[in-house]
Chain A
Amino acid sequence: MKNIFVHTKNVKLFNDGINAINHKLKGVERMLLVTGEPGLGKTETSISYCAQNGAVMIRTLQLMTGPWLLRKIVEELGSAPEKRISAIFDQIIDLQKTKPRTIILDEVDRFAEKTEILETIRDIHDVCHCPIVFVGEEMADKKLMRYRRLYRRFVGVVKFEKLDKNDVRDFVTSVADINIDVEAIDRMASESAGKISDIVNWIHHVEAWAHRNQAKKVGIKDIWKS
């Protein structure tokens, strides 16, 4: 099995969403909300984006307070945080002015009850005019909807969904080392219910079977033998 990062439909939507907020237009908001069930690759996609584009990702914690988050942002932007909160806020603005970077906040639904933190993030966005991406679970958009001033700043909401048949076909053909029949792939898609981890397991089994039997092509009947 090839070890590559496959650009599925979800990843493409994520990239499109980020491209939509990475603009230089004044007065146009630059916030994005990404939601989806656990295990669909939201964090993985975010890490990949950060690694390739130099963005900053902060994994939020339940106990996190406003000052803690601000300090964490400064540290991730590559500087040592000042002692006073006002100075830290100024530091973030200065750092973003000198080198603007996208800030990705993972597991952001943990802040759903923390108005102060959400308002601080909104302030950072308004003052720096920097792109901020919120990544949260499937109900995150509903939880954040009640903060109207924050919610209206979201340019778009990207929903990560389970892979459909076409996505599974693309994924399997780009990842598998052997030729797998389309019918067999469709069967894998229905059996795995679009979960990538299950599809990967299927591919491993099928490849092992093909290697043992020196088969060059795997059909629908062969996947049950594996």
Chain B
Amino acid sequence: MEKLRIIGVIVFEKSSQFFTLGQVVEVSGFDRITVRRALEKLIREKLILTISKKDAYQLKASAPIDLGKGRPSLAITYRVADKKGLVERVAPKMKEGTAQDRMWTAMRYKSHADRTFSVAEIVRLANVNKEHARWFFKSLRRVGIVQPSKAGGPGVEWMLIKDTGPRRPYVGGQVKKSDQ
């Protein structure tokens, strides 16, 4: 499932051009069978299309050329058929009504009302535990959505510097700089 999403993202990045299996393999680092299966799944879902070998060959040469017997020398060419659908398919699926949703709503509305907010206020308003709130604040700070008033210590006020809308931003799957 995770591999399909990674391949989907690579395919999306190539949505403005034709691409081959080999190109996706090279970028993703997965083996050819895994990539082929993922692409076949995306084809079944009508998110990408294949261009037949013959047609693909004819894109370059005007006259039809006989490919002959055996393995064709030209790779199958793919292209994205439904860009919007592909985005929805590969976008992380988020549950609704979670503690993070509550915190995000409280942050946005508190920010609209008072401009700044503290971790304690969000804990109180969203009814979540302190550790979870601190993790969420840290994750949002890493992606540049919130900013603290000072480096640390008591009485830190936070500010929402990028309001991405009522749907909470995806903050999972980030890697710390020190871990890289």
Residues of A within 8 A of B (CB): 3-5, 43-44, 46-48, 50-52, 54, 56-57, 59, 75-78, 106
Q: How far is the CA of A47 from the CA of B120 in the complex (A)?
A: 14
Asked if B166 contacts A47 (CB within 8 A), the reply is no
CB B4 to nearest CB in A, in angstroms, measures: 26
Residues of B within 8 A of A (CB): 96-97, 101-103, 105-106, 109-110, 112-113, 120, 123-127, 130, 165-167
Q: Show 14 residue pairs from A and B whose CB-CB distance is below 8 angstroms, ordered by the A residue.
A: A3-B130, A5-B124, A48-B125, A48-B127, A50-B105, A50-B106, A50-B109, A51-B105, A51-B109, A56-B166, A57-B112, A59-B109, A59-B112, A78-B165
User: Taking each of B96, B101, B103, B112, which has the highest tally of chain A beta carbons within 10 Å of its own beta carbon?
Assistant: B112
Asked if A44 contacts B166 (CB within 8 A), the reply is no
User: Chain B interface secondary structure, helix, strand, loop or mixed?
Assistant: helix
Q: How far is the CA of A47 from the CA of B112 in the complex (A)?
A: 10
Task: Name B112's closest neighbour in chain A (CB-CB).
Answer: A59
Q: How far is the CA of A57 from the CA of B111 in the complex (A)?
A: 12
Asked if B123 contacts A75 (CB within 8 A), the reply is no
Asked if A78 contacts B167 (CB within 8 A), the reply is yes
Q: Beyond A5-B124, A5-B125, is A106–B113 a contact (Cβ under 8 Å)?
A: yes
Asked if A76 contacts B125 (CB within 8 A), the reply is no
**Among candidates B103, B113, B120, residue contacting A51 with C-beta atoms closer than 8 Å:** B103
Task: Name B126's closest neighbour in chain A (CB-CB).
Answer: A51
Q: How far is the CA of A220 from the CA of B153 in the complex (A)?
A: 33
Asked if A5 contacts B166 (CB within 8 A), the reply is no
Which A residues are CB-close (under 8 A) to B110?
A: 47
Which B residues are CB-close (under 8 A) to A48?
A: 106, 124-127
Asked if B113 contacts A52 (CB within 8 A), the reply is no
Q: How far is the CA of A3 from the CA of B120 in the complex (A)?
A: 7
**Further contacts, 14 of them, CB under 8 A, given A5-B124, A77-B166:** A3-B124, A5-B127, A44-B125, A47-B105, A47-B125, A48-B127, A51-B105, A51-B126, A54-B101, A54-B105, A57-B109, A57-B112, A59-B109, A75-B166
Q: How far is the CA of A76 from the CA of B164 in the complex (A)?
A: 11
Asked if A75 contacts B165 (CB within 8 A), the reply is yes
Which B residues are CB-close (under 8 A) to A3?
A: 120, 123-124, 130
Which A residues are CB-close (under 8 A) to B96?
A: 54
Asked if A51 contacts B106 (CB within 8 A), the reply is yes
Q: How far is the CA of A75 from the CA of B108 in the complex (A)?
A: 13
Give the top 4 A-B pairs by smallest Cβ distance, nearest first: A51-B106, A51-B102, A47-B109, A51-B105
Which A residues are CB-close (under 8 A) to B97?
A: 54
Q: How far is the CA of A48 from the CA of B105 in the complex (A)?
A: 9
Which B residues are CB-close (under 8 A) to A50?
A: 105-106, 109
Asked if A59 contacts B113 (CB within 8 A), the reply is yes
